[in-house]
Amino acid sequence: MSLVAVVALAEGCTFIQPETGDRISACVDGDSDPANAIEFKTRIRPLMNGEKPGTKGCAACHYSTSPNQAGQEGLIATQLDLSSLRTLRNGGVNTRGTIVVPGKPCSSAIVQKLRGTANGARMPKNGPYWSPEDIQLVADWIAEGANGGDDE
């Protein structure tokens, strides 16, 4: 049995993030705050753009609209373009159909990558990693159906 599994059993379904040592709780597909709807344009897009102080956004590597090649490292490697909701929904070479699974954040590759529970590197690459609260916003948005509003 792995150390992560032992910790999960001992700590009531929490896991130790190997890269940072942070405790992360088991993923839950439900909306943590159903009375508070999450809008993509005003709550998720700013995180992805890196507009929240101390948060590295997806724009650093996954935007086709980046003015230079350095800002397209992840786009080139994975073909995952996060510059619009439409291209996010398309996924990349390894995440087509799984990047965002409406109603199922735990099955959504974006949540798995942000939490560090998917194969490969935790995102954003080399951190700083998003806070559990910011990751929960993404999970709640997906649990609510991953609707987009004006950012289609």
Is 150 part of any domain? no
Q: In this predicted model, what pLDDT tens digit does every residue of 84-143 receive, in sequence order?
A: 999 999 999 999 999 999 999 999 999 999 999 988 889 998 889 999 999 999 999 999
Nearest to 10, CA basis, from 20, 23, 19, 22: 23
Q: In this predicted model, what pLDDT tens digit does every residue of 44-78 receive, in sequence order?
A: 999 999 998 888 998 888 988 765 665 688 888 99
If one counts the domains in the chain, the total is 1
Nearest to 26, CA basis, from 35, 38, 17: 17
Is 65 part of any domain? yes
Is 149 part of any domain? no
Sorted by sequence, the CB contacts under 8 Å of residue 86 that are 6+ apart come out as 152
Peptide bond into 124 cis (omega under 30): yes
Is 2 part of any domain? no
Give me the domain span that covers residue 108. Answer: 28-143
- How far apart CA 22 and CA 100 sit, in angstroms, is 24
Query: Three-state DSSP class for 145?
Result: coil
Is 57 part of any domain? yes
Is 19 part of any domain? no
Is 101 part of any domain? yes
Is 17 part of any domain? no
